[in-house]
Amino acid sequence: MIKRCCQYIVLILVTIAMSTHSFAVNDPTKTGTAKSNQPDSSYTGGKIAFDTEAWDFGYSPGNALVRHIFTIKNNGEEDLRILKVKPTCGCTSAPLKKKVLAPGEQTELDVGFKTLRFKGAVEKHIKITSSDPENGDVKLAFTAIVDEPHPVLRIYPDKFDFVQIKEGESAEQHVNITNITVQPAKLYYVDTPSRDYLEYELEKNELQPGETAKLNVKIKENAPNGVLRESITFALESEDSARISVPIKAEIIDKTYGSR
């Protein structure tokens, strides 16, 4: 009798389990599998373009940071998705402002290179993976000559370091640029920060042999809180002369800092 009761109980449990499974499979509210929040890497479309695929910082001091902004544009007729930005070195940062570009739209890739203890010629890359069906992987490159003397110019000090500036205050510094050759040297800007809180001025751009000019930089009252890292890059009119970059660093602190 007990054995027969146990058999009935087992049969009932099996029947309930099968009914539950059948309901789950045929539940009309289950319309498909769960969707992933990850970008659809199978999508193809758009046509990626760059203002340049290579940048030269020229001579740069060690233990500093120099910056350059690459412009990325979608020249296609469909949306362009930038799937991955991967620097090949931990010394490089490359935040991207926007990952999906409509036709004709562009965005900025803000590249910062920490020169650290590098010495001599350096070349680094940033791999850009996008939905462009014909050019899905592109390597941007930048070069620098770190912690070496420039053959034409001497800059002293070799960088701007404002240390700390209180919020709402301004500060000014200058560096001296000297022509150390026996020939005239003519400088021009090739890359400058586009910030409304930063002003810069080169006293004169043509230096006679042995002549010195001041490069003045002012950080204005509207600078945002936090650490600011910028750079100015010059080139010389002579084609065989290398570029030179001057880093700028400041920390904007709360105006109440240090007060009681």
Where does CATH 2.60.40.10 sit in the chain? 48-146, 153-253
Which residue is it, tokens 């080169």? 202
**pLDDT at residue 3, as a whole number:** 46
User: How confident is the model at residue 41, as a pLDDT?
Assistant: 64
Question: Pairing state of beta strands 212-219 and 137-146?
Answer: unpaired
- Is the peptide bond between 28 and the residue preceding it cis, with omega within 30 degrees of 0? no
Q: What is the dihedral of CA 202, 208, 209, 213, to 10 degrees?
A: -20
CATH code: domain 153-253 is 2.60.40.10
Q: Say how many residues make up the chain.
A: 260
Homologous superfamily (CATH) for 48-146: Immunoglobulins (2.60.40.10)
Work out the angle at residue 119's Cα, subtended by the Cα atoms of residues 90 and 66, and round it to the nearest 5 degrees.
55
Q: pTM of the predicted model, to two decimals?
A: 0.82
Backbone torsions φ then ψ of 250, nearest 5 degrees: -155, 155
At 40 the pLDDT is 59
Q: Which of 126, 137, 128, 148 is nearest to 55 (CA)?
A: 126
**Is the sign of the CA dihedral 47, 51, 52, 53 positive or negative?**
negative
DSSP H or E run through 211:
none
> What's the pLDDT at 256?
81
Helix (H) or strand (E) run with residue 22 in it: helix 2-26
Phi-psi region of 104 (alpha: psi -120 to 50; beta: other; left: phi over 0): left
Query: What is the block-wise mean pLDDT of the chain (260 residues), using blocks of 10 residues?
Result: 46 45 39 44 89 97 98 97 97 97 98 98 98 97 97 97 97 98 95 95 97 98 97 89 94 81
If DSSP codes are grouped into helix, strand and coil, which group holds residue 140?
Answer: strand
Strand partners, 206: 186
Both tokens of residue 23?
């309901």
Return the closest-CA partner of residue 217 out of 236, 193, 186, 242.
193
Tokens of 235: 């080139």
- How far is 213 from 133, CA to CA, in rounded Å? 51
Give the Cα separation of 116 and 1 in Å (integer): 86
Amino acid at 51: D
